[in-house]
Each structure stands twice: as C-alpha cells, then as structure tokens.
Amino acid sequence: MAPPVHVRDLRVTLGGAPILQGIDLDVHDGEFVALLGANGSGKSTLVKALLSVVPVTSGTVELYGVDVRDARHVPWRRIGYVPQRAGAASGTPATALEVVGSGLLDNRRLRPPRHWRERALEALDEVGLADRAKETVSVFSGGQQQRVLIARALVRRPDLLVLDEPLAGIDRDSQDALAATLTGLRDRGTGVLVVLHELGSLGGLLERAVVLRHGRVVHDGPPPPAAPGHRGPDHEHLHPFEEPAANPRGPELRLDLS
Ligand SMILES: Nc1ncnc2c1ncn2[C@@H]1O[C@H](COP(=O)(O)OP(=O)(O)OP(=O)(O)O)[C@@H](O)[C@H]1O
C-alpha cells in the first residue's frame, strides 16, 4: 500500500530563490511526525508543496501513491490541513458548529450532507469544544479558534492530519487540549504531520522528528531532547542545527531551534 507521504529529491524555488533543496521524506500510516527547524528553514514551504499549495519545481511528491501534480486524482478527503496563523472567524457571524460543518463542503458538494450537525458536534468534542458549539467563533480566543479549525479538518475523518505551527501564540489550556486531541488521534491510528517551532505540550507524543535547515533535512529520527536550561542565564545559546560543524551527526543534536 502506498504511504500517505512519499517525497524524493524535492526542490522548490520561490521568487528565484531555492527554498527546498533535495528533500526526501516518507510518512507512514498512523505515524506521528514533527517537522522542526529554525524560522525560515522551509517547514511551511515543505508542507505547502506536499499539499499542492506551492508548486513543486522538481522531484517527486506523492500522497497515497498519487503525484500531487495530478491534483484531481489525489485523495484529498483523506487529508486534513490546518494552515499556519489562520483565524476561524474571518469577520463572519458563524457559530463554531457552522464553521466545523463547512469542512464537509467542497466544490462538488455545496450543500452539507445529512447528519452534518452530529458530525460537526463529534469533531468539536474531539477538540474539547462541544459545549461551545452554538457560540459565535469571533468571541473565541486564538487558541480556541485554532481548535475549531482543527475540528473543521477532522470532521472529514482524515487518515492524515497536517498542522502548521498549531502551538504558535496559543494559551496553555488550548495547548493541553490540543495534546489531548492528538493523543486521541494517535490512539485510533490517524497519522499526524505537525510543523513545530517548539515541542511544548506535544513533546511526549512524538515518535519521529524531521529537522530542516536551510531547506535541507539534517535529521530524521527520534526527537532530539529539548536543550536543558535554554532560557537560563548560564545557557550558551548554541544552535547546533544552524552550526553543523559544531555537531555534524544529526541524531545527537539537541532541540534548540530558536
Ligand atoms: N512566496 C515566496 N517567495 C519568496 N520566498 C519565499 C516565499 N515563501 C517563503 N519564502 C522564503 O522561504 C524561506 C522558507 O520559508 P518558510 O515559511 O517555509 O519557513 P519556515 O521554516 O516555515 O519558517 P517559519 O517558522 O518562520 O514559518 C524563507 O526565507 C521565506 O522568506
């Protein structure tokens, strides 16, 4: 069976600049993989190239065995995507239930299917917001809006969920709720590919980390432990992912991406 994600020698050039330079990546069924790296290392671009949001310059990108350049044949229903820094409100008076229900629409289905309310409520329950289903999302905090968008991706019951920086700027309660949601997904075999700048509350869930540096993979294996005392006064603030000469062997790298 074809894996959810299969990437070989992927190159992406944007605005004349090489952003991704020969990426190899596989994500297997039910895997929980983090994509880590400093700002500008290419994490979001990689996710967008996977999902056909930015064009592939060269190389192979397949989702469930289908080349993403053949977009009409990619089984998009099997993949949920929550982009970086997206708000759920976007100026409309929609309720959380309606925003999540809209995840069941696509360009062939402009009317929600029967039982959409039950499906949407179920997805809101997965992110811990079922009791707020009828509230307008514009009153929600950033973290709660993020969870509504995750529910909108989950309402389609994807086999792979792709999240771009879900922890960025969200409160501790929403971070904990997100960790609980992802634990539930892992337990029932849904794959997760998550872009992270810091492991935060998701550290304990990771099976594998892929670290990018300047558009190349510099580590693919067990998640490196968080650098101890990073914020302490004595910390030397070395950034091994950015200084390969200091620590050329990936698996020994500490996680210190800032
Ligand atoms: N459309 C574009 N045109 C030109 N350059 C771009 C474009 N999009 C991104 N870049 C550049 O590509 C590089 C990688 O950006 P990307 O957003 O993928 O990094 P990232 O690792 O996700 O970083 P961050 O954590 O800051 O989002 C950056 O230098 C960025 O400026």
Provide the Cα torsion 124, 125, 126, 129; round to 10°.
60
Q: Provide CB contacts within 8 A for 256, sequence distance 6+.
A: 226, 227, 230, 237, 238, 239, 240, 241
pLDDT at 93: 76
Q: Is the pLDDT of residue 235 over 60?
A: no
Mean pLDDT, the chain, whole residue set? 83
Which residue among 23, 36, 43 has the greatest number of ligand 1 atoms within 8 angstroms of its CB, and so is best to mutate? 43
pLDDT at 43: 94
What number is the ipTM of this complex?
Answer: 0.94
Rounded CA separation 12/179 (Å): 31
pLDDT at 97: 92
Q: What are the structure tokens assigned to 121, written together?
A: 């409520």
Q: Which atom of ligand 1 is nearest to the CA of 42?
A: 18
Q: How confident is residue 88, by pLDDT bands cut at 50, 70 and 90? A: low
pLDDT at 154: 93
Residue nearest to atom 2 of ligand 1 (CA): 14
Residue nearest to atom 7 of ligand 1 (CA): 14
Q: Provide CB contacts within 8 A for 197, sequence distance 6+.
A: 36, 39, 165, 167, 168, 257, 258
CA 42 to ligand 1 centroid distance, Å: 6
pTM for the model: 0.84
CA 256 to ligand 1 centroid distance, Å: 19
Judge whether 103 and 152 are in contact, CB under 8 Å: yes
Rounded CA separation 131/116 (Å): 17
Q: What are the structure tokens assigned to 246, written together?
A: 């200091």
Q: Is the pLDDT of residue 239 over 70?
A: no
List, for residues 115-157, the tens digit of each pLDDT value. Answer: 888 999 999 999 999 999 999 998 888 888 889 999 999 998 9
DSSP 195: E
Q: How confident is residue 108, by pLDDT bands cut at 50, 70 and 90? A: low
Ligand 1 neighbours, Cβ below 6 Å, are 14-15, 17, 19, 37, 39-45, 197
Q: Is the pLDDT of residue 173 over 90?
A: no
pLDDT at 226: 61
Q: Which of 57-71, 168-182, 198-212, 232-246 has the highest mean pLDDT?
A: 57-71
List, for residues 174-191, the tens digit of each pLDDT value. Answer: 888 889 999 999 888 999
Out of 138-142, 163-167, 198-202, 244-248, least confident range: 244-248
SS3 readout for 68-110: CCCHHHCCHHHEEEECCCCCCCCCCCCEHHHHHHHHHCECCEC
Q: Which atom of ligand 1 is nearest to the CA of 19?
A: 12
CA 214 to ligand 1 centroid distance, Å: 10
pLDDT at 90: 66
Taking the alpha carbons of 61, 62, 67, 73 in that order, is the dihedral positive or negative? negative
Q: Is the pLDDT of residue 228 over 60?
A: no
Q: Which atom of ligand 1 is nearest to the CA of 46?
A: 18
